[in-house]
Structure 1
Amino acid sequence: MDNLLKKYEEHAYALLRMVTGFLLLFHGANYILGWPIDGRSWSGAAWYMAYFGVPILFLGGLFTCIGIFTRPAAFLASGMMAFAYWMAYGSKAFSPPADSTNSFIELMLPIVNKGELSVMFCLAFLYIATRGDGIWSVGAMRKK
């Protein structure tokens, strides 16, 4: 089993990089273009999210997906996802909703505060930042 999986290690990493970048790219496109889901817009976002966060979502996702400037793009995306977790989800523990029956510790858990996606993106992009472009990337083609 190990030999079989080891044989496809680079391919699996390339798929992880491309799909994770693709997902973040569309998350950013949703804020910029209002597509593919209507109703989301960066016009209502805090100024720092509109000017820093949304471009990192879009460009970080694009660069990671195609595999160019992968390390810095993924590192920025990872940091932004950590920031997003603490601003949008982890902060719920410090100002819980009035009807919340959860304790401080419970509200810090991603499953309770609904921050699982931010945590997964943060760790996936951190891993991608450590690995770099990999195969099936513009960076790999430029090195040839």
Structure 2
Amino acid sequence: MFEKFAKSSENTLYVIFRVVVGLLFAMHGLSKLGWIGGKEAMTGLFLVVGIGELLVGLGILTGLLTRISALGGLVIMIGAQIMSHLPKGINPMTNGGELSLLFLVSFLVVFALGAKKLSLGKALFGKELL
């Protein structure tokens, strides 16, 4: 019974996963730009990262250049781990790195699977780009 449900729902569940990951990451970027969360816009490297997070999130959310977006997200999250979290220790529960690890693994999944069936790239071009 479960296998039948899993097989028949595979694409729908993946689209939900992709949309939620993309939306949350875009919101993460918007918060760095001062648009969500009541914070002031960040400057310097954090501003660049915020723009990158917004673009990555939108790419994954819409399914346009999905794998390139996921690769960009991987780079951002690896950078976050190296620059911000690992200097505070290796345990993500004490160094504040659990969210970036969840995003990192999510981007690995999206990079491996691409956009799948429902995507803006397929709607516009008839196929997934890259």
Common fold: TM-score over 0.5: yes
Which of the residues 111, 129, 142 maps onto 2:111? 129
- Provide the rounded CA distance (Å) in 1 between the counterparts of 2:50 and 2:116: 25
C-alpha deviations, 1:24-69, integer Å up to 9, x for none? 111111122x1221124212xxx33333x22210101011101100
2:11 counterpart of 1:15: no
Please show how residues 24-103 of structure 1 align to structure 2 within 5 Å. 24-32=25-33, 34-43=34-43, 47-51=44-48, 53-92=49-88
How many residues align? The count is 125
- Provide the rounded CA distance (Å) in 2 between the counterparts of 1:135 and 1:40: 38
For the 8 Å contact 2:32–2:46, the answer to whether it is kept is: no
Normalized against structure 1, the TM-score is what?
Answer: 0.80
> Which of these two proteins has the greater Rg computed from alpha carbons?
1
Normalized against structure 2, the TM-score is what?
Answer: 0.88
Determine helix, strand or coil for the equivalent of 2:15.
Answer: helix
Amino acid at match of 1:119: L
Aligned-CA RMSD value: 1.4
- Provide the rounded CA distance (Å) in 2 between the counterparts of 1:6 and 1:28: 34
- Provide the rounded CA distance (Å) in 1 between the counterparts of 2:32 and 2:94: 25
Amino acid at match of 1:4: F
Amino acid at match of 1:78: L
Question: Which blocks of at least 5 consecutive residues in structure 1 are unaligned?
Answer: 93-106
Deviation (angstroms), 1:17? 0.7
